Amino acid sequence: MPPFLSSAGVARDFVASRLRLWGRSHQVDDGVQLISEMFNNALVHAPSPDYVVAVDWNAGRIRLEMWDSSPHRPTVLPIDVEEEHGRGMHLIAALAEIWGSRVAASGKCVWAVLPGTPENKVRRAAPDRSR
C-alpha cells in the first residue's frame, strides 16, 4: 500500500472483509482498531516507499501483520497525558492476545494476534454438582 493516510482506510477495510468472510464478525472492531494503530505507527515512525498488510487465520487464531522497510522495532513509551500522541503501542498491547515484531531483510514486521479461543478447543463449563 502506498504511504498515505488514506491507505489506512484500505487496510481497515481489508481486515474487516477478511474477518467477515471467515465468520469472525465479532472480532472486526478489535481487528480494525489494531491494524489502524499499526498502520498509523508505521506512517509516523517508519517511513517506507510502501507498506504490506497481511491477515492470517491459523488454528483458529487471527494474526495481523504490518510490514515496512524500516529496521527499527517499535517501542512502548510511557504514557504522557499532556501529549496528543504516544498511545498506539499501548492500544495494540491492550487489544492483542500477544504482539511483537521481527526484523527482516527488507525491514520489519509488526504483528498482533486477536484474542480468541479456537473453535475446536472451546472449553465447556463443568456442570454445577453442588445441588
CATH of the domain at 81: 3.30.565.10
Query: How many domains, the chain?
Result: 1
Q: Has residue 57 been placed in a domain?
A: yes
Read off the pLDDT of residues 11-39 as tens digits, 9 standing for 90 and up. Answer: 999 999 999 999 999 999 999 999 999 99
**Residue 87 domain-assigned (yes or no):** yes
Q: Is residue 122 part of a domain?
A: no
> In which domain, by residue range, is 105 found?
5-117
List own/partner pairs for 104-109 with CB under 8 A and 24 or more apart.
104/67, 106/67, 106/69, 107/46, 107/48, 107/67, 107/68, 107/69, 107/70, 107/71, 108/46, 108/67, 108/68, 108/70, 108/71, 108/72, 108/73, 109/65, 109/66, 109/67
- How is residue 59 annotated by DSSP? T
pTM recorded for the entire structure: 0.81
- Give pLDDT tens digits for 55-87: 999 888 999 999 999 988 887 766 666 666 656
Question: Is 124 within the bounds of a domain?
Answer: no
- Determine, yes or no, domain membership for 123: no
- Whether 129 is covered by a domain: the verdict is no
130 assigned to some structural domain: no
